[in-house]
Structure 1
Amino acid sequence: MPSTTQTTSAPVVNTSAGRLQGSVEGALNVFKGIPYAAPPVGALRWKPPAPVQAWSGVRKSTEFGPACLQPKPKLSSIYEAKPVPMSEDCLTLNVWAPKNAHNAPVFFWIYGGALWGGASRDPLYDGKRLAERGIVVVSINYRLGPLGWLALPALSAESPLGISGNYGLMDQIAALRWVKTNINAFGGDPANVTIAGESAGGLSVMYLMASQEARGLFAKAIAESAYMISMPALKESVHGAPSAEQSGTQLAAALHAPNLAALRAMDAGELTRAASDAGFAPWITIDGHLLTKQLVDTFEKGEQAPVPLLAGSNSGEIRSLRVLAPQPPASAAIYESMIRERYGDLAHDFLHLYPSNHLEESIIATTRDALYSWTAQELIRKQTAIGQPAYLYFFDHGYPAADAAKLHGFHASELPFVFGTFDGTPPLWPKVPDTANERRLSDAMIGYWTSFARTGKPVAKGEPDWPVFGSNDAYMAFIHVPQPSQHLMPGMYKLVNEVVCRRRASGDQPWNWNVGIWAPKLPAATPECASH
């Protein structure tokens, strides 16, 4: 039975695979680099995560494990982190726990990075400030890029389930199962786990909510800047995208690998770099087992996990992801003409929300809303519809360095406030000033997030009550201080929802960042979509 003991120098925990020795950081016991699955290397590459082999004696858990393999970014950006150790042997997790924790809530963090990058060792995700509020924080690594998301006919053929891809999602589920078995030894309550993530981490949260394989492994969910876009199917082309197996076959050809054995013989780092250079896109796949349908269909049918949800997006998501939006056309007249050509009967509503007299702002708002704003409201509305408490937020906070760089409310800019890690941001990230006002906002967000993990209701001492979304379309705006409000972005949800519905009905168009002047001609209205 997993258990923990405290010595004068360091805590020792007895887990299902063996004993671990962590370290003391103030009032916390901290364990780093804990293996939750066997290393998927060599012949085990592109296999589901296997149980950890038990060890004898006491294993030190005082250093972070290496990050999962990922390519060096092609372009410098504010998200580029300092170099860290990387390995194919990367399936580890970290735990921050109050020394006196007993049945404490568990906050399970999944990093973002477009399924290409990220690491639980990132200083931005240090769990110290959250754990100091009386919760147990777990952060995990999961496989990335081609090592985490490659599908191939040969891989499907060797699987007892006839599937491939989604290895990174399998890793996340394996880590949740490890938590269910072992977290009580660290003082955590396995029946009170909140899954949480940002960007690709928020995407992962949605898929964990959709997957029956993850059902019962968590009790609440937090999705920050998630994006409910169309995803490929394993074996057939859907919504204008090739099958996952077809994309994998194209990658194997680009890598001059004649068979699966040749792919497994490749150096993992070189394979990752070459896949990036070849334009491989890692996606979560509809495989018929882990995931049976598009996310939007799962949530529309009310088949997602019936748990309390906190979700939201940022005002300036695309300011730091400019590659996801087109450049403005030469004139307002050209813009309006392009929108009318593409959006037909919805052009009037579109131009009302995204007018031609502010071209740059309208274009980045178009992509922001199609990816992030609509997703947050879709999640909240659908969770409300199945009778679960759901809390919407909108992060619209600016500070001097971000605003000077024209990055007000940029993608992921809420993270240093959620984790209280102003000093943990990457080198090119606009520096958050350590002032009383910024600390107050961070303290409020830490309070809301940790209380939600505790009870399913976000509360922060000395701050306004956060109302459930409910019938008043209530939400919390994080500007300079938390401000409850109602009816975020009137008309946005209805318009984007209609666009997504028509594309789903047509069956041959994806819904992602191909919006605005990048959009294909919108399919005609259908009675089904008009009733949404």
Structure 2
Amino acid sequence: MAAASGRGYDRAGQQNRGRNPVATTTATPDLTVQTADGRVRGMVAHGVRTWRGIPYAAPPTGDLRLRLPRPPEPWEGTLEATAFGPVPPQEPNLPSMGAGRKTPMDEDCLTINVTAPLDNAPPRPVLVYFYGGAFTFGAASSPAYDGRKLVEQGDVIYVCMNYRLGALGFMDFRRYSTPERPFDVNVGLADQVAALRWVQRNIAGFGGDPENVTVFGESAGGMSITALMCVPSAEGLLHRAFVQSSAPATAYGPGLPEKWAGSLMDLLGVSEAEAPAALQTLPAQRLVEAVGKLAGKVTPQSEPGARAVAPVVDGEFLPLHPVDAFRTGRAHRIPLVIGTMFREGALFDRVQDILPTTAERIDTMFARTAPELKDRVLAAYPGYPSKRAAVDVGGDVVFWLPSVQVAEAHSAHAPTWAYRFDYAPRMANLLGMGATHAMDIPAVFGNYDDGVGRFLTLAGGRRTAVAVGNRFRASLLRFARTGRPGLWPGYSTGTRTTKIFDSTDRVMHDPHRTRREAWNGYRGYR
């Protein structure tokens, strides 16, 4: 048991490296909560109670690097939970995603944050957010994921956690395991399961209802959710799912994950014999830099549309490919809302060039996945190979198509709703991107005052953007409280009813039918 001290401590009793100091004064009752691991004290900020940087697992360092998460060591005294835990190792150039200067970066990053209303009147619905970032960047400390408005407007408990990223969280190094240095797989997903278990054990103390947990997330966060819905050990930990811009087909194995692990070792200049020791001892930043080259340059050319950093279909933790699990009814049968942006691929063409958004990459993708479908699919995109049409092909195959496949499969087993987010602030249209990837983040969190949200409304249209966001956010909150996102009908293969969020909302049946039918039978990299 670690003892409290005025300088702060970590779970090994060492001086806290950026962790919060331990309180030595009498706690305010409404801000102190007894968790399964020890007492934590939060603070009041901007009209809500918040607890930050609570350890939900042991530090994944040393012998625990690339191993499944272990429970945290309990502590004595009261942990002052007023500062965010360290950001997971990643490229330090995305301050809006949490990787800025205010919060340190460290492998000891497995912490969780809770935000609650001022009054302690349980039980309230619980919203748990999984951040995006292509499984290579992101953090729960990002201002973009401030859940204050969700808490205030929805009378809910908001939770967001850090999980391991990049090579440390989403690659398969089991081929390099030795009896002395074993390596596990899917440790980033396992972190998320551990965080959800923490919620089950502890959230009642913060005023939350452990029997009403709604998970939501965007991009890699959405991918995490569609994968977790297919992870047996996550059963019972999530009761509803609201999924934004998932890429459910982004999971691989066997074959490709092992190949990509070898490619990473080549980029590091590490031989097969040296790999076990290198994986355990190399500085995290070396792994981050190598993953940047692999996922940002190598994979988009060699396997366009695939992600080298992604969940692994290992036959045990993630037994089946997620799309196949949904199709066979083996995904957790919980209510699901799933949707995408109108033009998912446009952002990547401008900002992060990793999708198959060129004719060359699209040719390679079909040659490696479904050459017999190429002509039929591309005929459904008028003007191809124009740049706009190619960008839409890339966005559709990665995000829209597998989301439709999940919706149609899950609707046979559990309540399912589909949406499409079509609203684009004026700035997005001026930039030629339209309603593209990630532009629903300020909408769902109600944050148009700074960061990306403020930028998107610099050219005007703030009132409309806020109104659309209010309706989108209300759907999430209604879903968390009642199990239904609104008045629009559920999804079925008969009608394919889809809610369109725009300056004026509407309901459509089977939007993009021609494209959907053209892609029929496409399975991707598996």
Common fold: TM-score over 0.5? yes
Residues 503-514 of structure 1 aligned to structure 2 (within 5 Å): 510=525
Separation in 1 of the partners of 2:405 and 2:139?
A: 28
The residue aligned with 2:404 is 377
Q: Distance between the aligned counterparts of 1:54 and 1:189, measured in 2?
A: 23
- Residue pair 1:152, 1:249 contacting (<8 A) in 2 also: no
d(CA) in 2 for partners of 1:61, 1:252: 38
Change (3 A) 1:56 1:298: same
% same residue: 31
Matched, 1:166 2:186: yes
Give the distance between the partners of 1:244 and 1:203, measured in 2 at CA.
19
User: Any unmatched runs of 5+ in structure 2?
Assistant: 1-25, 299-307
Q: Which residue of 1 aligns with 2:510?
A: 487
Are the aligned partners of 1:257 and 1:263 in contact in 2 as well (CA < 8 Å)? no
Aligned to 1:476: 499
Instruction: Indicate if the aligned counterparts of 1:104 and 1:189 stay in contact, CA closer than 8 A.
Output: yes
Q: CA deviation at 1:275?
A: 4.1
Aligned to 1:176: 196
Structure of higher RCO (CA pairs closer than 8 Å, 6+ residues apart)? 1
RMSD in angstroms over aligned alpha carbons? 3.2
1:112 paired to 2:132: yes
1:416 corresponds to which residue? 442
Q: CA deviation at 1:31?
A: 0.7
Distance in 1, matches of 2:155 and 2:98, equals 31
**For residues 231 and 420 of structure 1, what CA distance do their matches in structure 2 show?**
31
Write out per-residue CA displacement over residues 229-264 of structure 1, whole angstroms, 9 at most, x where no aligned residue.
35332xx426xx645664565466548981423432
Map of 1:147-296 to 2, 5 A cutoff?
147-153=168-174, 156-158=177-179, 164-229=184-249, 231-233=251-253, 236-237=254-255, 242-243=258-259, 246-247=262-263, 250=266, 253-254=269-270, 258-277=274-293, 281-296=308-323
Q: Which amino acid aligns with 2:442?
A: P
Q: Are residues 149 and 203 of structure 1, via their aligned partners in 2, closer, same or farther at CA, if it must alter by over 3 Å? A: same
- Cα distance in 2 for residues equivalent to 1:78 and 1:363: 29
- Supply the distance in 2 between the matched residues of 1:94 and 1:255 (Cα, whole angstroms): 40
Is 1:468–1:474's contact at 8 Å kept on the other side of the alignment? yes
> C-alpha distance in 1, partners of 2:480/2:439?
21
The change in CA–CA distance for 1:397 and 1:182 in structure 2 (over 3 A counts) is same
Residues 14 and 339 from structure 1, CA distance in 2 versus in 1: closer, same or farther, beyond 3 angstroms?
Answer: closer
Question: Do the aligned partners of residues 197 and 91 (structure 1) sit closer, same or farther apart at CA in structure 2, a change above 3 Å counting?
Answer: same
Among 161, 166, 175, which residue is 1:145 paired with? 166
**Does residue 325 of the first structure (1) align with residue 341 of the second (2)?**
no
Superposition deviation, residue 39 in structure 1: 0.7
**Partner Cα separation in structure 2 for residue 79 and residue 90 of structure 1:** 15
2:327 counterpart residue number:
300
Query: Who is 2:381 aligned against?
Result: 354
CA contact (8 A) 1:101 1:134 kept: no
Shift of 1:493: 2.3
Task: Quote the offset at 1:347 in angstroms.
Answer: 5.9
TM-score when normalising by structure 2: 0.83
The answer to whether the Cα contact below 8 Å between 1:37 and 1:50 also exists between their aligned partners in 2 is yes
Deviation digits for residues 60-89 of structure 1 (CA, Å, limit 9, x no counterpart): 11111111001246xx99979644421111
SS in 2 for 1:313: strand
In structure 1, distance between residues paired with 2:407 and 2:357: 29
* Cα contact 2:174–2:185 (8 A) shared by 1: no
Q: Is the 8 A contact 1:369 1:492 kept in 2?
A: no
C-alpha displacement of 1:136: 0.8
Structure-2 change in CA distance of 1:207 and 1:16 (3 Å): same
CA contact (8 A) 2:87 2:104 kept: yes
Q: Which residue number corresponds to residue 438 of structure 1?
A: 465
CA 1:475 to 1:232, structure 2 compared with 1: closer, same or farther past 3 Å? closer
* Contact 1:148/1:167 (8 A) holds in 2: yes
Aligned to 1:33: 53
Asked whether the equivalents of residues 417 and 489 of structure 2 are also in contact (C-alpha less than 8 Å), the reply is yes
5+ residue gaps, structure 1: 1-5, 330-334, 460-464, 504-509, 512-532
- Give the whole-Å Cα distance in 2 for the aligned partners of 1:395 and 1:97: 28
Matched, 1:393 2:414: no
Counterpart of 2:82?
62
For 2:185 and 2:374, locate their aligned partners in 1 and report how far apart those are by CA, in whole Å: 39
- Provide the C-alpha distance between the structure 2 equivalents of 1:109 and 1:79, rounded to a whole number of angstroms: 14
Q: Deviations over 1:141-192 (max 9, x none)?
A: 00011111243246645599x8722111110010011001000101111111
Could you state the TM-score of these two structures normalised by the residue count of structure 1? Answer: 0.82
SS at match of 1:89: coil
Residues 339/122 of structure 1: CA separation in 2 closer, same or farther (3 Å cut): closer
Cα shift at 1:292: 1.4
Q: Is the 8 A contact 1:392 1:469 kept in 2?
A: yes
- Secondary structure in structure 2 of the residue aligned to 1:67: coil
2:43 paired residue number: 23
The alignment of Structure 1 onto Structure 2 pairs a total of residues equal to 479
Residues in 2 aligned to 1:31 and 1:360: alpha-carbon distance in whole angstroms: 47
1:332: which partner in 2? none
What residue number does 2:116 align with?
97
Question: Are residues 152 and 158 of structure 1, via their aligned partners in 2, closer, same or farther at CA, if it must alter by over 3 Å?
Answer: farther
Does structure 2 retain, via aligned residues, the 8 Å contact 1:477–1:483?
Answer: yes
Deviation at 1:32, TM superposition (A): 0.9
- Could you tell me which amino acid in structure 1 is paired with residue 288 of structure 2? T
Q: How does 1:66-77 map to 2 (within 5 A)?
A: 66-72=86-92
- Offset at residue 10 of structure 1 (A): 5.7
> What are the superposed Cα offsets for residues 344-397 of structure 1, whole Å, 9 maximum, x if unpaired?
7756643442022782221111111111111221121111111x1111110111
Structure 2 distance, partners of 1:371, 1:455, is 31
Whether contact under 8 Å (2:313, 2:321) holds in the other structure is yes
Cα distance in structure 2, aligned partners of 1:473 and 1:483: 14
Structure 1 counterpart of 2:391: 364
Q: Secondary structure at the match of 1:422?
A: coil
Letter in 1 for 2:400: S
> 1:473 and 1:113, CA in 2 relative to 1: closer, same or farther beyond 3 A?
same
